Amino acid sequence: MRDCRVLCFFIALVLVFVHGVNGEDPYRFFTWKVTYGDIYPLGVKQQGILINGQFPGPQIDAVTNENLVINVFNYLREPFLISWNGIQQRRNSWQDGMYGTNCPIRQGKNFTYFIQVKDQIGSYFYFPSFGFQKAAGGFGGIRIWSRPKIPVPFPSPAGDFTILAGDWYKTNQYILRRLLDSGRNLPFPDGLLINGRGWNGYTFTVDQGKTYRLRISNVGLTTSINFRIQGHKMKLIEVEGSHTLQNTYTSLDIHLGQTYSVLVTADQPAQDYYIAVSTRFTARVLTTTAILHYSNSHNGVSGPIPVGPTTQIASSLSQARSIRWNLTASGPRPNPQGSYHYGMIKTSRTIMLANSAPYINGKQRYAVNSVSYIPADTPLKLADYFNIQGVFSVGSIPSNPTGGNGGYLQTSVMGANFRDYIEIVFQNWEDTVQSWHIDGHSFFVMGMDGGQWTPASRAVYNLRDTVARCTTQVYPRSWTAIYMALDNVGMWNIRSENWARQYLGQQFYLRVYSPANSWRDEYPIPKNAILCGRARGRHTRPFKK
């Protein structure tokens, strides 16, 4: 015990200095073996990506501020990388796990992520970020629990279920990728999965009369989903780290990459009920089901599967607007969420990002402000650190749409200043719903509406009680505006969560820059950083200052 105290203190000290994780908070250690394995989610044998033999991968549980040490061994026959959707990686974009920040883990090698879930609560997920590996699985849930002394604005539920749902292809990820590489679009998905299973493949068991928390993420590749439970209502409690006003819904639209937490009370007669998920805003509607099983039930599921909303955009938009912050509830800290008056802070800059689907060199691509992102041969974060010229240049994407339908290929990086408070308008002139994610930050969803955003659109902003989150939808021919505090130095991926779109260029990096070059703003490069491309053979100098 005493030995550990001394030894652990030194280990913690080393971890703080070398990896930027905080020694005062507890550690959780994970060893993950990433392999291929046969999976049959839609009844057909496929090559899946498993973590410790599991599909979906193991759940990560952590308490605010804890340190996660995750040693990932890549036993695939290809490079591999994991990213952490919604985990803010404060001062530590070195751990973000996108190809712009990290070299992929080569086959047969391992890499240890050191992640502190600083000042966060809520429900998120991790996923393979490299190539098109997400189409083969490799994703899993992340739950960050409140510290014991911080009040949570609902009674402790009797159980806590992670629900990873989304569209799925029977086709191997390589074939899907080749299709995209050849300049074509993906076909319509073959089905939907709930926790890696198809039709009635997964059962959640509940006790009659008790209340459960469900954390539902859309981990799919291309479509928004609608989620509902036969005969039951859902009380929304949390959205990507924000405690919400506890409105009741009969169904929820969950766009790509988003996560919602709801409470469900098993207050119906003892039998089994359908949990239904269907594609949203698609001409053809795919549906799948799981089972809500009452432990005292002797009857299987029966009756019609609950149908999803039939109206298109309007009901989804009004549902989105009904999601509010509970101003008096605590977030990760004891003070109420509402004590941060996000609507009163003056923004210093407006960035407008317009998505498009140009053909470039005869191939289907996707773009932001006419720039279609192409990966460089070296992660941008490493090129920045080692000052390697010619990998990218800051300002290689305009911060406003350029007009015109064309597009060009570029390793696009936008510059921004640490501590700025900015407005970003996502303008969607296409006919499909978009889902945008920003790494390293959470942002306030100020408003969304049809048509073209203009400064007059600010009149409808919610300046008081909108939620802070990390992924927002933009409806067809509509805009969504956000406010965001640039409180995290680093190289951060801004991307479409539609995986075909991000793969074909609808993404870029935001370089949040501080001239101070101080550990208070950003941790030094981790000692175990993998160095690839033009960074290969360089030396990490962890004690740079």
For binding to ligand NAG (CB under 6 A), which residues are involved?
71, 110-112, 153, 245-246, 326, 328-329, 528
In three-state secondary structure terms, 126 is: strand
CB 423 to ligand NAG: min, Å: 28
CB 226 to ligand NAG: min, Å: 23
Backbone dihedral angles phi then psi of residue 318, each to the nearest 5 degrees: -70, -30
Residues 330 and 146 sit within 8 Å (Cβ to Cβ): yes
CB 165 to ligand NAG: min, Å: 25
CB 13 to ligand NAG: min, Å: 17
DSSP letter (8 states) at residue 244:
B
Separation between Cα atoms, residue 411 and residue 367, nearest integer Å: 12
Going across the sheet that includes 272-280, the strands are 203-206, 287-294, 272-280, 224-229, 251-254
Six token digits for residue 12: 């913690």
Q: Which CB, 246 or 319, lies closer to ligand NAG? A: 246
515 preceded by a cis bond (ω within 30 of 0): no
Q: Which CB, 65 or 528, lies closer to ligand NAG? A: 528
CA torsion, ordered 507, 512, 517, 523, to nearest 10 deg: -60
CB 77 to ligand NAG: min, Å: 19
Spatial CB neighbours of 52, under 8 Å, sequence gap ≥ 6: 32, 33, 58
Q: Which CB, 153 or 398, lies closer to ligand NAG? A: 153
Task: List the one residue out of 231, 310, 229, 249 whose CA is nearest residue 239.
Answer: 249
CB 337 to ligand NAG: min, Å: 9
CB 113 to ligand NAG: min, Å: 8
Q: Which CB, 145 or 174, lies closer to ligand NAG? A: 145
Q: Which CB, 31 or 517, lies closer to ligand NAG? A: 31
CB 540 to ligand NAG: min, Å: 11
Backbone dihedral angles phi then psi of residue 23, each to the nearest 5 degrees: -70, -20
Q: Which CB, 246 or 364, lies closer to ligand NAG? A: 246
Q: Which CB, 47 or 112, lies closer to ligand NAG? A: 112
Element at 415 (helix H, strand E):
strand 412-417
Spatial CB neighbours of 239, under 8 Å, sequence gap ≥ 6: 122, 258, 259, 260, 261, 323, 467, 469
Q: Which CB, 56 or 97, lies closer to ligand NAG? A: 97
Q: What is the DSSP string of 354-386?
A: EEE--EETTEE--EETTEEE---SS-HHHHHHT
Spatial CB neighbours of 291, under 8 Å, sequence gap ≥ 6: 200, 202, 203, 204, 272, 273, 274, 275, 301
Residues 203 and 480 sit within 8 Å (Cβ to Cβ): no
Separation between Cα atoms, residue 495 and residue 477, nearest integer Å: 19
Q: How many CA atoms lie within 13 A of 163 on its CB side?
A: 36
CB 267 to ligand NAG: min, Å: 19
CB 244 to ligand NAG: min, Å: 7
Q: Which CB, 68 or 192, lies closer to ligand NAG? A: 68
